[in-house]
Structure 1
């Protein structure tokens, strides 16, 4: 019988795990969920995965994201044999729910389990009720980290190679290193170029500190989550689209522009007909309903501006 050491080993690439996680997210409900490019990182027998999905709306988004998270985690671990940590779910968009849904179908458009099917569901919900979702979605800062690592590796690698050539091969030092040392000997801290280089390095250091301390990913707003290890965020563009659609359905409203900031949502609507005060009240109710349905961790403030069309202004001027 062949020994374990002679059989070789099986390596699962990051790309394969990423594709498996994406397929697993699509298995939840292929007709209601759209998946995008995700992420995966394999380290030995462990793997970290993340998926990007577009969920149906209106629907309880945290519950839908939790279903996807649980299925992606268990399914990826089953197919790859790796220990998969809790998957990250990134909501990139919202899809309108088909109007032909039957009453027997769940509101999320996803497969759900009842308390009778899962006796531990109530226990898990009670444990997860005290979870806390972060206010901001932190960025991994891959590009700045890669650029800094590349620059440091290039400089240290070139210096190490030259030192090895000098001490082991007994060859003269490289001209660039010798010229740099001679130039530094002739120019002190009072030289203009030295001051400029020092200022540039100080600015780079301040930039790196700012990147390390700031969350980044300003385009994402985190949502409340019923699970302890579930992190859900929604893109501000998607929030602007659903708010615009809801305000556009208000009677009398024509063109609508919505701008979603980190702490405020600004709605500019043009009134085609009807009373301005009543339209503003209906717009506020529609926008608040959509924002409440998004379950944002920090509900943004709402500012509504209603402008009358030229036709409405002309009628108000002609009125006795």
Structure 2
């Protein structure tokens, strides 16, 4: 389903990517068993609409942030309680005394310390990756044709629309469409007509369908057409 989000916008210009060629596979003048195009066109640069450049949607990542916050809160609370207990004249908690003794007596090349440091480093890198990447890979940003409004289209919804367009092509018996972040892959079966002709019509239909989706970035297109397998 399309997703709308308000945001600041500024005037800009629109630009579309170009369309490239395609190649086929088969025999010399005989019946083709499979026809494929590596790319009907190469993906172009991100376009800018009236409302400004459409960037990717950022995920709030509430679950990782909540887990980290709860762990830090629990650790800080236990540590402060132990410090207050020591200040009040009571002995410190056994785990803190044991941890201090272990850190003071173990060597830096100890296996347990190495494994613990590696785990801490991996967790830290994972948190940095979550903080620096937008996420929400299943949501494709659309052109910002209206100021202060951001729209996004789910990849599954885009694949469903393109699949319906592909099934309207004469000769197509079945088709599978997968929409990636940068490319659309279509795998079709044709039970009549020449495979090259079916592939050409599919290229045109899907090219027009991708353009009508109104995405901010032109997606590449890969089409493969083959005959249905013989039933045993």
- Give the TM-score normalised by the residue count of structure 2: 0.75
Alpha carbons of structure 1 residues 192 and 241: separation in structure 2 relative to 1, 3 Å: same
Distance in 1 between residues matched to 2:70 and 2:51, nearest whole Å: 42
Pair 1:132–1:218, CA change in 2 (3 A): same
Q: CA deviation at 1:270?
A: 0.2
* Partner in structure 1 of residue 202 of structure 2: 283
In the aligned structure 2, how far is the partner of 1:291 from the partner of 1:309?
26
Kept in 1: contact 2:57–2:139 (CA 8 A) = yes
Where in structure 2 are there 5+ consecutive unaligned residues?
8-48
2:74 is the counterpart of 1:158: no
Where 2:149 maps in the other structure, the secondary structure is: coil
Contact 2:51 / 2:148 at 8 angstroms: preserved in 1? no
1:243 corresponds to: 162
| 1:147-296 paired onto structure 2 within 5 Å | 147-168=67-88, 170-296=89-215
Q: Per-residue CA shift, 1:47-89, capped at 9, x if unaligned?
A: xxxxxxx46xxxxxxxxx77xx7xxxxxxxxxxxxxxxx48xx
Partner of 1:137: 57
CA contact (8 A) 2:51 2:144 kept: no
1:304 alignment partner, one of 215, 218, 223? 223
In 1, the alpha carbon distance for the partners of 2:193 and 2:53 equals 44
Q: Is the 8 A contact 1:264 1:303 kept in 2?
A: yes
Counterparts of 2:50 and 2:182, CA distance in 1 = 25
How big is the shift at 1:129? 2.1
Contact 1:132 1:228 survives alignment (8 Å): no
Change (3 A) 1:244 1:130: closer
Structure 1 residues 208 and 310 mapped into 2: Cα distance closer, same or farther (>3 Å)? Answer: closer
Partner Cα separation in structure 2 for residue 266 and residue 304 of structure 1: 6
Cα shift at 1:292: 0.9
Provide Cα deviations, 1:187-211, integer angstroms capped at 9, x if missing partner: 1312111111111111111111111
Counterparts of 2:114 and 2:176, CA distance in 1? 49
Q: Give runs of aligned pairs for residues 95-114 of structure 1, distance below 5 A.
A: none
1:146 aligns with 2:77: no
In 2, Cα distance between equivalents of 1:228 and 1:206: 37
The Cα of 1:217 is off from its aligned counterpart by 1.0
Higher relative contact order (CA 8 A, sep 6+): 2
Q: Which runs of 4 or more aligned residues in structure 1 lie more than 4 Å from their structure 2 counterparts after TM superposition?
A: none
CA distance, structure 1, for counterparts of residue 139 and residue 51 of structure 2: 23
Q: CA deviation at 1:310?
A: 4.6
Structure 1: state its 5+ residue gaps. 1-53, 56-64, 70-85, 88-127, 312-320
